[in-house]
Structure 1
């Protein structure tokens, strides 16, 4: 069945020509965002009744990518007909070493990007931004990235104006987004740049586009993937199983079979905050996740996580985040709940 066309209800004129977007594959990349982009562009073109995006597959074919029959254009061939923009996917990196290994592996791609660029735009997400930065495409521009790798990125690419507080940043022809699923932020930004806002909202609803739900930045130091130290990763899992009222630096140190002073020094070195505060944030992050995952009352959440009482939880949560539990739910949970509710099945549906 043909997709019904959406009628633009804005005075903004649509671009007369589609923008050619190179979907860049490379060995070791996470290609899900490229497939999502290709499908997204297809749906937008059909809904608008005219081509706004013309995707072209480029790069080295990778057996792990699952790319179907048609092979992508080799880099040398693609250089003969430059695209107006290139979408550069990320790769998995947990440490600075992972970044360096991939930069060494992708010297050919980086050199190609350096030559391909201005005025072409480079849109990158997750650790794809490291490749864009290595190619000089982000020099002098504001860019974001997965926040726990901000420090090594700053050291390696000082010419980039890194600001990892944002999920997505646009600066000139370049667009960067954080996180392994940052391609959704890129696609939303591109849609808003090409069609009237109310039409973009209709397409979003029709495609059930997910919404970012990053949560409060105060919890970043206790995110699992933010821990370079494997012992702190183990400790997070253990603390999550403990009652909040029973949690102390001594009990945490005993789990790792080390002296409390040694654990305190390790946590301070790795996270730049005190051990007791770090442990408390693990439990409060569980509170935050519970607030967003359900409509359970604070009393039930407090009991389930082992706080002495709900007033203790409320005071600690407000001190850490500057928000009440209800304010937190409203600010960080509304998008998640609206997306989940859009696909909710009811009896008889």
Structure 2
């Protein structure tokens, strides 16, 4: 996007289905509508379409929304997002697309990135786009979804899963996490963080859906693990043992590990690795420090260790990540990333 001739924003088409949730419909517009390039031009072009010609689409609230585009706009999209709907009919009850929905999805070009928010995943699964792939949805719907689509590898613990050209998110507000992740993937951490800041949401949420599943309320007399997490974040560059974190809360390692997983939805080790990956990403994007120094500053110790962790988490090497995001491009990650 260095000249007027080369400038073309990434087009995101949001498929509005009857019974949609207005909050989820608005998430892509809010997140993708904010990013700008250095010249103030929009990085994304967001359009909403229906499976029918332009007109009203019913919501689960006491109002409808008027959609100005029909399904043909899907043929122009670089990314198609399917928010949740409470009126998916045969899709939700039988796992099959209606003729109308199938005809609409036929407009989507091969190679187009697909994403779903909450139960919008049923549409992608019914279309056969998730066979053999990992996917997630709202934790309360995960078991039913898995029974209906046994070829899909369902993970009910994560907030979203990036499997390259197909991404899925957990329920409702996890759509924010997913859309911010796509901005980060396309244009880097700095752009995504600015969108998060003006949207007044965290750039990353710790843990996965496990922290939102109903459990008995813990004894309020017991300490939380918040202080240990803050302590660890200030020392990511140092070796941190599980017992060190437990000592910050005056707990045994066993008790601390259990409480940490209850609160964050992941183990302390998984959480610590995630924070170090994010520190490394920030340093790779914002500094020219040598790889060995980035590895030490982010707590991986060696460049080889950092390379292994970033390859696992992001699907790219530190060198490739820096080359991409220090020049303003986007990383296309092979494999899948399930973010907790």
Query: TM-score band, normalised by the shorter chain?
Result: 0.5 to 0.7
Using the alignment, how far apart are the partners of 1:117 and 1:87 within structure 2?
Answer: 14
Q: Could you say which residue in structure 1 is the equivalent of 2:308?
A: none
Conserved 8 A contact 1:22-1:87: yes
Matched, 1:78 2:70: no
The verdict on how the C-alpha distance between 1:103 and 1:17 changes in structure 2, with shifts beyond 3 A counting, is: same
Segments of structure 1 that go 5 or more residues without pairing to the other structure are 1-14, 225-280, 293-313, 336-349
| Cα distance in 2, alignment partners of residues 40 and 114 from structure 1 | 26
- Structure 2 length-normalised TM: 0.55
Within 2, Cα distance between the matches of 1:287 and 1:121? 48
Paired positions, count: 237
Runs of 5+ in structure 2 lacking a partner? 1-5, 227-250, 276-340
Distance 2:33 2:110 in 1: 26
Q: Which has the higher helix share?
A: 1
- CA distance in 1 between counterparts of 2:156 and 2:263 reads 25
Q: Determine if contact 1:114/1:135 at 8 Å carries over to the other structure.
A: no
**Among 13, 17, 34, which residue is 1:26 paired with?**
17
Q: Residue 117 of structure 2 contacts residue 172 of structure 2 at CA under 8 Å; is this kept in 1?
A: yes
Matched position secondary structure for 1:199: helix
TM-score normalized with structure 1 length:
0.54
On the 8 A contact 2:156/2:209 being kept in 1, the answer is no
Contact 2:12 2:47 in 1 (8 A): yes
Contact 1:110/1:131 (8 A) holds in 2: no
The alpha carbon displacement at 1:183 in A equals 1.6
RMSD across aligned positions (CA): 4.4
Give, in whole Å, the separation in 2 of the partners of 1:19 and 1:196.
15
**Deviation of 1:42 (Å):** 2.7
* Equivalence for 1:321: 259
Change (3 A) 1:218 1:155: closer
Find the aligned partners of 2:77 and 2:23 in 1 and give their Cα distance.
21
* Inter-CA distance 33–282: structure 2 relative to 1 (3 Å threshold): same
Residue 41, structure 1, aligned to residue 32, structure 2: yes
Partner deviation per Cα, 1:158-188 (whole Å, 9 max, x = no partner):
2222223321111121111111112201211
Decide which structure has the larger Cα Rg and report it.
Answer: 1
- Give the direction of change, closer, same or farther, for the CA distance of 1:284–1:217 in structure 2 (3 Å limit): farther
CA contact (8 A) 2:134 2:163 kept: yes
1:304-349 per-residue CA deviation (whole Å, 9 max, x = no partner) reads xxxxxxxxxx779547436799999xx79xx9xxxxxxxxxxxxxx
